[in-house]
Amino acid sequence: MSADRAAPARASSPQAREQFEQLLTACRGDGALVEWPHAGIAGGAPCGDLVRIAVRCAGETVEEVGFTASGCGAARACAAATVELAEGRPLLEVAKLGASDIAAYVGGLSPGKWHGAALAADALHRALGMALAAGAVAHPQRSGRVVVAFSGGVDSTVAAYLAAQSGKEVVAVTLELWADPATDPERSCCSPRAVLRARGLAHTLGLPHFTLDLRQRFSAQVVSPFLRLHDAGRTPNPCVVCNGQVRFDALIAATHALGAERLLTGHYARLADDGEGLLLRRASDPCKDQSYMLARLEPALLERLEFPLGSLEKTQVREIARAAALPVAERPESQDLCFVAGLGTRSFLRRHAASSLRRGKFVTRDGREVGEHDGHQLYTVGQRRGLGVAMGYPAYVVAKDPQRNRVVLGTRDELWARRVYLDRDLILHRAPQRVRAVQLRYRQRPLPCVLVEDEDRAWLELAQPALAPAPGQTACLLDGELVVGAATIAGWEK
């Protein structure tokens, strides 16, 4: 199968014209599976063309394909071509089909009609993703087959490349989590445009590709709680929640349905057996370690996971990409949350939580008003920049009072904590005595600690003070390099 690429000139041969007309006339699959639920839709009002493609899968085969299309003749011809290319074919072969394959089958398309092939390909892949997510795909497990969580960035691409080079049969799966025209599609790993980019790259590498549309689930389980927790005065960590409740559950289910032995991801983390079973282990490169973001993964999932980059440094990963001439070798990393890419958290809150943002007061510990702010949700404990208040000394956010919409300012000395309280969502994978260190923020070095529990609550006694543990962030509990638990920070005291 060829990769999606720039639109080729439409062939002018009589054979090409005859093929185009035959597709328009015969329209195999036109009107079939109209009520079938596993259907993808692409196009609409902006372009005037709309393509709906439905697939009925059985086991490892796409048994039937149907379509409806409105708009230009190219859209209908490409939809009909998709039926002929996909129907009765093995699912993993159909998952390699791209717009270029459809355009070539039609006989070539002019640049002005190329969108017909692009719409048909997108509708097909959305239908395949729906069938996969709904459990309509059932491959028997095959030795050597792996699924790669494929964002299309350098890390996931190198993970897929290394797996293929080692002789593995690689299937790429991309998650579509969020769609917001205000975010930067080039910096987001989960937007509709990012999905198209990842699909094209997977096809370039010769890989079958599936897209799982998890936008509703992601909004309900990640974004909505993110907004609610900001209203409650907290600074949540949505990536930990997403990995623990949304992303990996869906990917593991897809891995099972596709008959793969393992799920591979581009995370910088490792696995280790401590004698009681598998645990997450910090990456060999502490500057890139992402075990913190995976801290809420259940140990039972780890048996089906693999992290090919866990023992590599980022520079080595880019060197591998360059040596293999992978087109993403120089793609920059995004430091944003995926759903705020290009916006930043404050702008995201202004856009999606404007009704709850109210002007309030900056105050000192003794209640003296020293300025105004646009909503306590826009600030986090430990923040110094962007306060817009002259205090005569470097001022920091030392606390928040969401009930009275107040942000408390103070000095850096007020932010040092010796005791960190944990929420009731504490999970432990090993005995409490195994908790010997804690990471209180992403990319922050672990601190020695002891976990203390009583009937009502749990807390960490730190061997050395921590600066500004923010309520709502994750406390990743460690025994050396091993992740032995996690909890949400509830508060702290000196």
Question: Is residue 5 over pLDDT 80?
Answer: no
39 with 162, same domain: the answer is no
pLDDT recorded at residue 341? 72
In a domain, 1, yes or no: no
Question: Is residue 9 over pLDDT 50?
Answer: no
27 with 85, same domain: the answer is yes
Question: Is residue 113 over pLDDT 80?
Answer: yes
Binding site feature residues: 149-156, 175, 266
Which residues are catalytic, by number? 242, 338
489 with 424, same domain: the answer is yes
Q: Tens of pLDDT along 12-29?
A: 566 666 676 777 677 788
CB 384 within 8 A of CB 363: no
Mean pLDDT calculated for residue range 278-306: 96
In a domain, 109, yes or no: yes
406 with 477, same domain: the answer is no
Domain that holds residue 365: 357-410
Give the least confident one: 55-64, 102-111, 400-409, 478-487: 102-111
- Final residue in a domain of this structure, among 367, 393, 410: 410
pLDDT recorded at residue 337? 75
pTM: 0.92
Mean pLDDT calculated for residue range 477-487: 98
Mean pLDDT calculated for residue range 128-147: 94
Binding site feature residues for ATP: 149-156, 175, 266
390 with 433, same domain: the answer is no
Question: Is residue 345 over pLDDT 70?
Answer: yes
In a domain, 352, yes or no: no
pLDDT recorded at residue 94? 98
Query: Any idea what the CATH number is for the domain that residue 64 is in?
Result: 3.90.1010.10
Q: Confidence class of residue 226 from pLDDT cuts 50, 70 and 90?
A: very high
Query: Any idea what the CATH number is for the domain that residue 483 is in?
Result: 2.40.30.10
Mean pLDDT of the chain: 91
CB 373 within 8 A of CB 360: yes
| C-alpha of 285 from chain center | 22
In a domain, 3, yes or no: no
Give the count of domains, the chain. Answer: 4
Question: Is residue 191 over pLDDT 90?
Answer: no
In a domain, 386, yes or no: yes
